[in-house]
Chain A
Amino acid sequence: AQSVTQLGSHVSVSEGALVLLRCNYSSSVPPYLFWYVQYPNQGLQLLLKYTTGATLVKGINGFEAEFKKSETSFHLTKPSAHMSDAAEYFCAVREDFGNEKLTFGTGTRLTIIP
């Protein structure tokens, strides 16, 4: 069965500092991995996704993530945090085409310190 674990329910970084949000997955087959962002009182929006090919994927708003099969990880990074990055971030996994279900992690709330 597929699952994701997000380490750290709350992360605080200073404006301009590196953002690192951690995600580890469990899957019996090659996974498809996603990061979604949720701004206050809104639904979720796709930040980026890994399907096949290049293991470093770039998303919107300067975020990127690297798929590391040996570590079963898909951590989200951004070199320089901006106040507008304050939101909740969710990692998600889908196993294969025959599995239509997307399984989400418990989320990480990112706070930006001015």
Chain B
Amino acid sequence: NAGVTQTPKFRILKIGQSMTLQCAQDMNHNYMYWYRQDPGMGLKLIYYSVGAGITDKGEVPNGYNVSRSTTEDFPLRLELAAPSQTSVYFCASSYPSREAKLFFGSGTQLSVL
């Protein structure tokens, strides 16, 4: 059972480059999330989705875009990378329940230089 799979695990970008962080889950979860984790700041929600075709902004959406064309996939797009986007990115998914726990991927460590 793969759970939540994120690729790549590590990436170095130059300022102004673009890339897509991939996230896939095989648990048929409706809800999916993208968080970024910075030292001493905890996790900040970037975007989330409650189902295919539906996305919404979290706390820190600027500089990012998402799409949700299928239940399984929730890619995160960085269009013009900036040093402030250097972070560890986590994708997560859950059932549509207030009690539901989040299942996390293992993260993508991104450096923008």
Interface size on A, residues (CB 8 A): 25
A34 at the interface (CB under 8 A from B): yes
**Shortest Cβ distance from A5 into chain B, in angstroms?**
11
Q: Which residue of B lies closest to A36 (CB)?
A: B102
Cβ-defined contact, B105 with A43, below 8 A:
yes
Q: When the two chains form their complex, are residues A103 and B104 in contact, meaning their CB atoms are under 8 A apart?
A: no
**B contacts with A, residue count (CB < 8 A):** 25
Find the residue from B40, B58, B104 having the highest chain A CB count within 10 A: B104
A79-114 interface with B by 8 A CB criterion: 90, 94, 96-97, 100-107
**Partner pick for B33 among A6, A90, A102, CB 8 A cutoff:** A102
CB distance from A85 to the nearest CB of B (A): 19
Q: How far is the CA of A97 from the CA of B35 in the complex (A)?
A: 20
CB–CB A42/B98 < 8 A: no
- With an 8 A cutoff between CB atoms, is B74 at the interface? no
Per-residue CB proximity of B13-53 to A under 8 Å, as 1/0? Answer: 00000000000000000010101000011111100101000
Known: A9-B40, A101-B58. A43 touches B107 (CB 8 A): yes
CB neighbors of B among A27-82 (8 A) = 32, 34, 36, 41-46, 49, 51
Known: A41-B106, A43-B90. 5 other contacts (CB 8 A): A42-B107, A43-B92, A43-B107, A46-B102, A102-B45
27 contacts between A and B (CB under 8 A): A32-B99, A36-B102, A41-B107, A43-B90, A43-B106, A43-B107, A44-B43, A44-B102, A44-B104, A45-B104, A46-B101, A46-B102, A49-B99, A51-B98, A90-B42, A90-B43, A94-B98, A97-B97, A97-B98, A100-B48, A100-B50, A100-B96, A102-B33, A102-B45, A104-B35, A105-B42, A107-B40
